[in-house]
Chains A and B, each alone.
Chain A
């Protein structure tokens, strides 16, 4: 809710009491979700500019030039709070919202991703949330006809009372068809279309900008309801409107409903708007004007139309049978005026309504210091058992229970399915783009800055392993209550980490979202999520390059490890699984080391020397290699004595999560060329062993059959869901 201080500020600027409608409007637009009032001040730390960036942070989607007369578009957003209360509708409308963001820029939406966080699925309520979130995403995305090409899932008890549902949509547009979210010309019409307006999602953003209380049920009315059939019709209709270039501006109705949609159009255009709320097509008869203006009913778009195009627009809307209303006009008075049958309900200066809030003071506390100590570490007695435990653990095991429910192939552009390092789509200019996302929330909990930068490195390696060059980042930053110093410092440190990464690797951040207040107060105790900065990175392949998968493809090939392995097991999955907790200083962010190994893999891919490749990440070397073998019909035989770096015991070598490492399968004939490249880039390397026709994972000191491994790997999550 609007604070006392904000109320005073509004009174002073207006020199009167705000009306009921105005209060509702200020409440939603000044909410953290819409205003970014705690977060925006730090965005200067990001690298946002680049020659390729056609449209950066600030509108519905970021646009990046991918050559041959095409832009790629991307948007990323959270729908956490609604999904906790109503997982099916919350997740579905999260997908719906992110699609609207991308199409409102004129893009054709071609791919979806989702990044999810839940409490451990062994608890029935967590499994219920996962089941229904996945169903919501699946039924909505599948119906609308946009493939899911990537995603990520992590479990931790910190998400039990506050699950996370982050969604990404990517699209493409020709530069001449880009539509901007601004209303520049007074006298133009405001036309809303797509669906009717009802009471669902009233002030959803305000609810998302507060922490949860014990009684979640009372917020059910704040959750929106999705309608994929209407959305499909909106998409088809919009395509016709855009191809005929009939729109001078476009904004979707997302968080904040009409207040935000029209307010932002006017703000961007330096104009005003006058809206007749009685012209809005409604689905409920007794809805009040103060509700219409903040309703977040789904599948609605707001278009700016020049008078000479109005007849044609109306014709197309009628032909497609989509509800619409000519609800107002762009003005030159710099105000948001809303009327109800001629009577003025709201008359707010745009500059007050949009970003006119008094900037709140936020205090950055101190992140608890961690030590380098590994006193907890014990060499395991039974290596085989530990490896099977790891492979079957919920944060490492097979996710196909989730992604087999998503249509991955609709639109017929999918080159690489889910379950690989990244999903790959072919764009209409013939270029292939890869999409991946990562966040290790345990690293981010122990050290938000290093953890964030290092999570971003994992995304980077996912792309590089396949042969793609990273071209842009979108992020979704999920944190706790910014009014608490101990929570706010996690956010600020994480932004610093992402800022460092984007500058160190010169990858522009073109879109994103901040979701704060992800904590619940249960019986007086504060339950805050792990800091969860989701970082999505897109990459592009050279023309004609075939993406390199991670499944082993030939027997008797050499398996190389690139990069040093250090005794970095604090914050690792090994620590979590063997001790039940994470503590200590997590694996360090080392941009220079990371770059060296990246250059090795890139050049080797260019020369076609690598048959299969994997990023070494969560679970370390052992898990990365097992994942290469699990997707193949082969096994391997290793000698781990000569691994470069300071890790000295077997378990340290197998499970350290030191960054900057890759595994590469290289055939005998290419070995010399490959090693030359490693030397050239001053990286380190060792030959771990050979792939083997026999499906056995032989680590030297112990071995297991691939069938045993596959059994635990595929059941890890499924056992809780079926």
Chain B
């Protein structure tokens, strides 16, 4: 299964994602520089948009990348129901493209923040969280704009349609101000689209994919992503 890992100028997590995916049986991750345009996605069965600072985050995080030609290909794949995962800057790009609702505002602290966080995985099954439902996982975050916000209407539909697979919490699964690193609405760390095949998340599953790094919880998300790529 060919998984296209996109690299815009300024993306800097592409190698981490490629490395983590290469640990998973059946995955065939390939690097696709955005300048290749639609041709770069011809073989793709799924897409990861990794983190980083595409186009230096100039204008607004993800804003410039979201109007590149290659994003049309991302949109087509998403409409076909193929799995699309946006991590960190990738999540920001997906919201800028309108594939996911809402925006990612600057962190409440107004500073970049890097730390390990705990996430509560929703009880409701999604293609990305199979076997993890209801669990508490530990993954790192690293971002300056991760403060998720959306309209009241969008918020209601995210909730009603059970489209919030990941929320910030503490080690025992309790949520609260102290455990929300960026001020995001409803402690949201990740959301999916209505079809359920597009996931955007601020935490970095690829950075929690080997025991030596302190956690393998993120690998489970990537394994589900690969399993869903059929």
Contact = CB atoms under 8 A, between A and B. Distances in A.
Given A404-B114, A405-B112, A143 B12 contact: yes
Interface in B5-30: 9-10, 12-13, 15-16, 19-20
Interface residues of A, number: 28
A138 B213 CA distance: 21
Interface stretch (B127-135, B186-194, B202-210): B202-210
Nearest to A230: B56
B111 interface: yes
A490 interface: no
Interface string A408-427: 11111111010000000010
A409 B215 CA distance: 12
Interface in A284-312: none
A144 B13 CA distance: 10
A409 B207 contact: yes
B212 A138 contact: no
B56 A407 contact: no
What range describes how many residues of B lie at the interface? 20 to 34
Nearest to B7: A236
A229 B142 contact: no
A411 B206 CA distance: 10
B114 A143 contact: no
A695 to B, nearest CB: 16
A430 to B, nearest CB: 9
Nearest to A401: B111
Contact of B16 (A144, A405, A410): A410
A135 B212 CA distance: 29
B203 to A, nearest CB: 11
A145 interface: yes
Interface in A337-377: none
B56 A409 contact: no
Nearest to A400: B115
A415 B116 CA distance: 13
Interface in B193-229: 204, 206-207, 209-210, 212-214
Interface string B47-90: 00001110111100000000000000000000000000000000
B212 A415 contact: yes
B212 A426 contact: yes
A357 B209 CA distance: 55
A92 to B, nearest CB: 12
B101 interface: no
A409 B114 contact: yes
Given A142-B53, A410-B142, A412-B209, A229 B114 contact: no
B140 interface: yes
Contacts of B53: 142-143, 228-229, 232
A145 B52 CA distance: 7
Given A228-B53, A412-B20, A144 B12 contact: yes
A232 B12 contact: yes
Interface in A194-250: 227-229, 232-233
A417 B206 CA distance: 16
A483 interface: no
B114 A406 contact: yes
Contacts of B100: none
A410 B113 CA distance: 13
A228 B56 contact: yes
A404 B55 contact: no
A80 to B, nearest CB: 23
Nearest to B15: A411
A156 interface: no
B12 A138 contact: no
Contact of B9 (A229, A408, A410, A411): A229
Q: Which of A143, A227, A403 has the largest number of chain B CB atoms within 10 A?
A: A143
Contacts of B210: 412
Contacts of B113: 404-405
Given A409-B204, A410-B16, A415-B212, A232 B9 contact: yes
B204 to A, nearest CB: 7
Q: Which of A405, A409, A415 has the largest number of chain B CB atoms within 10 A?
A: A409
Contacts of A157: none
Contacts of A404: 111, 113-115
A97 B26 CA distance: 41
B20 A407 contact: no
Contacts of B51: 410
A414 B112 contact: no
A145 B12 contact: yes
A134 B209 CA distance: 29
A50 interface: no
Given A405-B113, A410-B142, A412-B20, A229 B213 contact: no
A139 interface: yes
Nearest to B139: A409
B55 A229 contact: yes
A407 B214 CA distance: 16
Contacts of A228: 10, 53, 56
Contact of A412 (B35, B111, B115, B206): B206
Interface string A426-461: 100000000000000000000000000000000000
A142 B141 CA distance: 12
Given A145-B52, A409-B114, A415-B212, A233 B206 contact: no
Given A409-B142, A409-B204, A412-B20, A229 B112 contact: no
A228 B212 CA distance: 29
Interface in A132-152: 135, 138-139, 142-145
B59 to A, nearest CB: 12
Contacts of B58: 229
A405 B56 contact: no
Interface of B: 9-10, 12-13, 15-16, 19-20, 35, 51-53, 55-58, 111-116, 140, 142, 144, 204, 206-207, 209-210, 212-214
12 contacts: A135-B111, A142-B112, A143-B10, A143-B57, A321-B9, A321-B35, A405-B114, A409-B114, A410-B13, A411-B15, A411-B16, A414-B213
Given A139-B112, A408-B114, 19 more contacts: A138-B111, A143-B52, A143-B53, A144-B12, A228-B56, A229-B9, A232-B9, A233-B9, A321-B9, A321-B35, A405-B112, A407-B112, A407-B142, A408-B142, A409-B114, A412-B16, A412-B209, A412-B210, A414-B213
Interface of A: 135, 138-139, 142-145, 227-229, 232-233, 321, 403-415, 417, 426
| The 5 nearest A-B residue pairs measured at CB | A145-B12, A229-B56, A412-B16, A143-B53, A407-B142
